[in-house]
Structure 1
Amino acid sequence: MALNAAAVRIGITGELYAGPVGTAAPTTSVSALNAAFVGMGYVSEDGVTETYDDTVEDIVAWQNATVVRSNTTESKATLSMTLIETKGAVLKLYHKGSTVTAVGAGEWKIDVKAPTPDERAFVLDVIDGTKHLRFSIPRGEVQERGEIVYANGEPVGYEVTIVCYPDANNVVLTKFSDDANWGYS
């Protein structure tokens, strides 16, 4: 077994982008994004967490009380992060169905409404030096929102969990990378 330290990746930087459902998805890890994708800015130092939550039911045989088969009855892919850049695009993502409007010179407001469905297309870039990892999510939605804390010495953060919905081929997200190590066993 050959160990390869050069194949260890670190998520040093990157950004989450959101656009309307149906926006042309990227085709490589470095291709230019469609102009409809808007960057959500800085993410907290905790980064982004990719999670797959599966519900599995075991089938137990009567004869020996042993699991003879398992069946996945539910599966969900999510990305979770805390956005720390306060700007209109982030506020509209966090406050699903709400809009930011101008109320005068240099003044803005958001009427926070009860959340409504707000599906979007998402792209997440994760960069480690010259290596790029790109997630393309054609249909996703903020499913969970954390607390907004206003505290001295801490950035105001908008914690969101985005659920990835499957397409017609049951694909919930596509990952692209220009990392040659992906091609090796």
Structure 2
Amino acid sequence: MGQNSENVRVAVTGAVYVAPTIATRPTTATSTLGADHKELGYISDGGITETRDRSTNQIRAWQNGALVREPVTESSIRYQFVLIETKKETIELYYGVKVAPDGSIKIDPSKTGGRQSFVIDVIDDDDIIRIDVPSGEVTEVGDQVYVNGDPIGYEVTVTGYAITDGDESYSAIKWYSSLDTTEGAAA
């Protein structure tokens, strides 16, 4: 098959969107998002980190202690990023509460904001990788640091929860526009 340097992707830019879990979900890497999807703004130059974790249980036979099976017992997918725009959507996501009309928030460290839908676009020129997390929740937040010369960052970790869609169960869907071979797709 050979090597092709045109297939090397770089996450040049992108965006993260949040919406209620009932919002219309994307159907392709390039489908238009609905008005319910709010862009969270600039993300720090550290980008977005996707982490997939798995735990397994090794089943061994009595005979020679041979490994006979290793089923997955736990799994998760998480997305971590630092938002650097201070705006309503960012503050509400980070603190898990609504911003009052006067710009204040009442901080309750136990609040997560509940389950929401997330869309992450990773863009390299005309190539788009789109990730749809239909049911996600902010499960971790980073420290707030206030220092001269650096942006105030809002570090969040979004955990994707499994949903059932037809006869499939999954926590996220990922589309690669460069791999789309359906009729009418860009080559």
TM-score, normalised on structure 2? 0.90
Contact conserved, 2:112 with 2:138, CA < 8 A, in 1?
A: no
Q: 1:63 offset after TM fit, Å? A: 1.6
Within a 5 Å distance, the mapping from 1:32-181 to structure 2 comes to 32-96=32-96, 98-103=97-102, 108-113=103-108, 114-116=110-112, 118-168=114-164, 169-180=168-179
Q: Distance in 2 between matches of 1:115 and 1:35?
A: 25
Name segments (4+ residues, structure 1) moved above 3 Å: 180-183
2:112 and 2:137 in contact (8 A); partners too: no
Q: Amino acid of the residue matched to residue 172 of structure 2?
A: L
- TM-score scaled to structure 1, two decimals? 0.90
Q: Is the contact between residue 83 and residue 90 of structure 2 (CA under 8 Å) also seen in structure 1?
A: yes
Compared CA separation, residues 84 and 165, structure 1 to 2 (3 A): same
Residue 40 to residue 117, structure 1, CA distance change in 2 (3 Å): closer
Q: Is the 8 A contact 1:7 1:181 kept in 2?
A: no
Note the alpha carbon deviations across 1:92-141, whole angstroms, 9 max, x for none.
11111x111222xxxx2111123155100110011000111111111110
Question: RMSD of aligned C-alpha atoms?
Answer: 1.6
The unaligned stretches of length 5 or more in structure 2 are 183-187
Deviations 1:147-184 (A, max 9, x none): 1111121111111111111111311111122204889x
User: Partners in 1 of 2:181 and 2:54 — Cα distance?
Assistant: 25
Preserved contact between residue 123 and residue 137 of structure 1 (Cα < 8 Å): yes
Paired residue total: 178
User: Structure 1, unaligned stretches of length 5 or more?
Assistant: none
Q: CA deviation at 1:37?
A: 0.5
Residue identity over aligned pairs, in percent, reads 38
Separation of aligned partners in 1, 2:177 and 2:60: 44
The code of the aligned residue for 1:95 comes to Y
Pick closer, same or farther for the CA change 1:150–1:28 going to 2, 3 Å: same
Separation (CA, whole Å) in 2 of partners of 1:64 and 1:101: 65
For 1:3 and 1:11, how far apart are their aligned partners in 2?
20
